[in-house]
Amino acid sequence: MSSDRQQVDFYFDIMCPWAYQSSKWIREVRAQNNLDISWKFFSLEEINRIEGKKHPWEREWSYGWSMLRISAMLRRQSMEDVDRYYEAAGRALHEEGRKPHSPEGS
C-alpha cells in the first residue's frame, strides 16, 4: 500500500439514516486504508423543499438545520470535530432513537 493519503469527500445530512449507515462504512474503510475524510454536508430538507414552503433557515425550528449549523461551526475547527459530532449525533438519532435535533432531546 502506498504511503500517500487519499482524500475522500463524504457528503451527508445528519437526519438521513442511509447517509449515517454509509458513514459507518467509510469509517471502516478509513481504518483499513490510508484515507482522509473531508466531511461535507447538505440539507435534504432544502433540496426537497416544496415551492412556497419556507427555507429551513427561515423557520423558527427546522429538524436538521440546527445540526448542520453545528457541523459548520465544528468544521471551522477541524474535520475530526465534525467526524466525532456526526458519529455521536447519528448514533443518538438513528440507533438509540433519541432526538438530538429537538430542544427537548439535546
Looking at residue 102, what is its pLDDT? 64
If residue 51 lies in a helix (H) or strand (E), which one and from where to where? none
Terminal alpha carbon distance of the chain: 42
Is 103 contained in some domain? no
% of residues, the chain, pLDDT over 70: 86
- Find where cell 440539507 sits: 43
Residue 82 pLDDT class (50, 70, 90 cuts): very high
Is 105 contained in some domain? no
Helix count and strand count (H, E) for the chain: 4, 2
For residue 64 the three cell numbers come to: 436538521
**What residues make up the domain containing 22?**
6-45+52-95
Q: Read off φ and ψ for residue 39, nearest 5 degrees.
A: -80, 120
